[in-house]
Structure 1
């Protein structure tokens, strides 16, 4: 396939997603890779096909002693540079292609082997200083193209329909929309209707969501959309991440951070319950977005225009003019 946005920086994983000494399969722009992390926190990445008979290395296992990966077919052993090992020692030049990674604290970035056209954004480390990492919500493939997925993250109006049953949003006026190159910022208010007792029992995190939510969104094209909300608990930050797996398949996951202000969350088990509920609610939002974009018919020129759609035209122009 032709690479999508060749030279863009892609956030492909958070360190917590890899585990320790476990192969992790990654697909980026039509190419499969395998990543693994050792107990010292070192991370390695190779093309996933064994250079012998193209077996998927991600189906193999990690040799802790040599920080290497073993092929599942013939137990061939490769180090993080792609060299074949024999008795723990490299033999010759690399035969499996290495994927260059840029590790930024717990964030794993790559340019997919292409010359960089944009710097890796500092949005996540700058906004999460002194915040707790709550976890990764959802990590799934969406069966549609990258542009359709990124547009829904920039679409203010879809909250009213796609997420109606969770948050009961009746109105979401936008106060400001500012853009500066590949960065954009939005200030917005959600006005909600009351949740039923049954809905709250199914999703206890709704107790922390006020009827009027002042929130802020920040975007760094093409991979990251930050949703920041001030809840009764404190600040909640959700980074919605996208990258292209194939021409018609897009990977998404959400990094969640929080800064809780109320003493009640010091009660043993209560904080874990609320945070787990928040992660589950975020995952449901992603599932709803995924179903929505996967159900779309082929795009045609819209015959209707909604208020505040400028940001969708902005991101579409960034994509088309890349």
Structure 2
């Protein structure tokens, strides 16, 4: 089981658990990683804490409790069952005493890089945390996050879908209406790769766009530049009338059968109209994730692939990195 888990959930990879904007101050937030649940919270000082989500008394979910702020800006997580308070180290003070217990839970080790909350899930790091998001955050405006979704699919299936450059024709047909995928090149740098292709979309009348307003945000030809950081990140770099977009898709293996995905959107907006359309760009990104999640529910896992399409080089890149993971 240990070998299977390591291969399928890639133990030792860095996972972006959240952007700080996804956490409200002193409010519990549940995350799952490698088959374990954790509660994560941000105190009034902006510091992030993470503990196992199970109370060591009678097993209540700490994420269903609340945070109690202290005068120094720190806060404790409070169990919803018996109101036991646990500090960032997993220590508590039992009722009727004034003595702090030893740690009852092992805190999840986090790596905080600016607004990005990374973790190796307490496994030995196999590859470094990519620094591309730090660079994007310095150069682009952060628009927001969207589509934080737990999908009932394994990590490999999720990543194969995201690196399948033909699936827009089916999965995203009613959004993009792509008529052809013109693949240009794939650059393979080990755990980092880049894909370039363009995809003309079907002509649409003004009336058709009014019926589906998201179409106003799409160009006649989608010029795609995808930058991939195995296994947790795919960045769609796009240019349109609004400016430059960096749509960052994140992936987290919650368990052998569930994978979490969400999007962080960054942009260099070049006009006032584009700024008014921020929420629409987030809405478009959310639709993409919803359609991907929907199709993944309609796929038989581990089905043998008896035919191969053109331009599956991204999928081959994913398979190779999975197979060579140590």
TM-score past 0.5 threshold = yes
* Residues 157 and 301 in structure 2, CA contact (< 8 A), matched pair in contact too: no
* Residues 168 and 195 in structure 1, CA contact (< 8 A), matched pair in contact too: no
1:48-197 map, 5 Å: 48-65=53-70, 66-85=74-93, 91-197=100-206
| Structure 1 residues not aligned, in runs of 5+ | 266-270
1: CA distance, partners of 2:273 / 2:117: 34
1:172-321 map, 5 Å: 172-201=181-210, 203-265=212-274, 271-272=275-276, 274-321=277-324
**Alpha-carbon spacing, 1:147–1:105, altered in 2? closer, same or farther (3 Å):** same
2: CA distance, partners of 1:38 / 1:202: 44
* Residues 45 and 98 in structure 1, CA contact (< 8 A), matched pair in contact too: yes
* Residues 163 and 318 in structure 2, CA contact (< 8 A), matched pair in contact too: yes
> Match for residue 268 of structure 1?
none
**Alpha-carbon spacing, 1:285–1:97, altered in 2? closer, same or farther (3 Å):** same
2: CA distance, partners of 1:140 / 1:23: 17
Q: Mean alpha-carbon deviation: is it higher for 302-311 or for 148-157?
A: 302-311
The residue matched to 2:138 in structure 1 has which SS?
Answer: coil
> Match for residue 31 of structure 1?
36
2: CA distance, partners of 1:127 / 1:173: 27
Q: Mean alpha-carbon deviation: is it higher for 69-78 or for 129-138?
A: 129-138
1: CA distance, partners of 2:42 / 2:207: 42
Q: Mean alpha-carbon deviation: is it higher for 200-209 or for 90-99?
A: 200-209
1: CA distance, partners of 2:242 / 2:294: 30
* Residues 217 and 281 in structure 2, CA contact (< 8 A), matched pair in contact too: no
2: CA distance, partners of 1:110 / 1:89: 34
2: CA distance, partners of 1:203 / 1:19: 33
* Residues 203 and 277 in structure 1, CA contact (< 8 A), matched pair in contact too: no
Question: How far off is 1:39 after superposition?
Answer: 2.0
Deviations 1:131-176 (A, max 9, x none): 1111112001111111000111111000111111111111121211
**Alpha-carbon spacing, 1:237–1:122, altered in 2? closer, same or farther (3 Å):** same
* Residues 18 and 36 in structure 1, CA contact (< 8 A), matched pair in contact too: yes
**Alpha-carbon spacing, 1:90–1:58, altered in 2? closer, same or farther (3 Å):** farther
2: CA distance, partners of 1:146 / 1:61: 31
Which runs of at least 4 in structure 1 moved beyond 4 Å after TM superposition?
Answer: 86-90
Q: Mean alpha-carbon deviation: is it higher for 164-173 or for 45-54?
A: 164-173
Question: How far off is 1:295 after superposition?
Answer: 0.5
The residue matched to 1:170 in structure 2 has which SS?
Answer: coil
* Residues 203 and 281 in structure 1, CA contact (< 8 A), matched pair in contact too: no
**Alpha-carbon spacing, 1:133–1:295, altered in 2? closer, same or farther (3 Å):** same
**RMSD between aligned residues:** 1.9
